[in-house]
Amino acid sequence: MGGTIDRVEQDLAAIGYSILYYEREMAGTPLTRSPAIDGVLPTPATVASGEYPLIYTGYAVTRKGGPAWADDLAAWIASPEGQSVVEECGYQTAK
């Protein structure tokens, strides 16, 4: 993600795609912005609600017959506790 931000900072005509939290909170650059789409600005609330249409959905997938810990991890990620940790890390969960 850092490479994308670096490139956009160096080239005024560049367009990049990054995670909202990274661009806003981690990269810390005043030289990039996330554009509105159809008048909707990307905010944690509009991303979580799906109102902002340019989003990435992440999945936790395990292999049938794989190690039990992998299934346990996927179940924990989907649990209220796991979703709370996801949000604490700056990512949005579906509401």
d(CA 62, CA 77): 12
Q: Domain limits at 30?
A: 1-56
Whether residue 51 sits in one domain with residue 63: no
| Residue-wise pLDDT tens digits, 5-34 | 888 888 888 888 787 877 777 887 887 878
Number of domains, the chain: 2
Contact 20, 31 (CB under 8 A): no
Residue 95 has pLDDT above 70, yes or no: no
| Residue-wise pLDDT tens digits, 19-73 | 787 777 788 788 787 889 999 998 888 888 889 888 877 888 999 999 999 999 9
Whether residue 51 sits in one domain with residue 21: yes
